Every structure is written in structure tokens, then in C-alpha cells.
Amino acid sequence: AIGDALSLFDKLKKEGLKNLTNKKQEKIEMPFVSIIFPNLNGGEKVVQCLNSIKKLDYPKNQYEIIMVDNGSSDGSLEMVEKVFNKYKSLKIIKLPKNIGAPGAYNIGIKEMNKKSKYFFKLDNDIMLDKNSLKELVNFIEKHRSEERRVGKECRSRWSPYH
């Protein structure tokens, strides 16, 4: 399995993500994607994460955002509700207590729109590149017959390790 993943990574590196972008992509219906992330006391980071999602170069009617709040007590949930109260793509699921990230992801997956073909798992401190979702979906669609899992390197601006 690791060999398969490395082989797929090498193929991706050789082809280059930029080469996967189709100039006629706007005319092709992109699949619906659910973007799911948990929040626990994310503060301003969660707002920045959501702002980066809003800037995605992906059809706005072809994705939803599901934020599962794990009982935040820092005001981040209220901040998100205030700033994004008119953002129709955002679904907020409020949990009374912290059930952990895996549990929050599972709840988000259960609440996905039925037309979702893929889900994109994030953390609340990730800031996406505007092309990241389009590039991942294009790659998956192009290599769908290979039945592999695909990811893209994500870096946290707040991590001391990057």
C-alpha cells in the first residue's frame, strides 16, 4: 500500500498539478464536494480557514462546508455565526461537548449532502490555496480507475514545525 501511494505521488510530481488544470474546466460540471472540519476553540484561525474556503476557485454551488463545533468555549462558534451568517454553503453542527476530531468528522460525514461525490477533510487552522480543491478533484477524476486515496500537502500557519 505504501508503495502504491509513493508510485501515485511520483506520478503526480511528474505530471505536475498545474498541468492537470483544464482551460475548459469552467464548462465541465465539477462534482459536488463536502468540506468537513471540526472546531474546538479555534479562535480567529477558524475564521481565516473559512475565508480561504470562500476564495476557492471552484463553483460555489458545487461544494458545502460542514463545521462541527466540539463544544467551543472561546467564542469562536459565535464569531463564525456572526461573520458567516449569510453564507449559505456553511452548515454548522453544534455539539454540547468535545467528542474528539474523529467523532466530529464522522458526524460531518453523516450530515453530508447526498449529492456529494467526495469529501475533503480539513482542520480548523488550515488555509487553503485557491486552486487546491480544483486540483485535487481534477487529479482524482483523472485517475479514478486506479482506486487510490489522494491528498495534498497542507501547512498550518500557526504550527511551529513549518
Task: Give residue-wise pLDDT tens across range 132-152.
Answer: 999 999 988 888 766 555 554
In which residue are the cell numbers 511551529 written?
Answer: 160
Predicted confidence at residue 152, as pLDDT, reads 45
Question: Global pTM?
Answer: 0.75
Average pLDDT, the chain: 83
Q: How far apart are CA 25 and CA 142, in angstroms?
A: 13
Q: Among 55-59, 79-83, 85-89, 144-148, where is mean pLDDT lowest?
A: 144-148
The number of residues making up the chain comes to: 162
Helix/strand/coil percent split, the chain, to 5: 40, 15, 45
Query: Which grid coordinates belong to 76?
Result: 469562536
What's the pLDDT at 3? Answer: 52
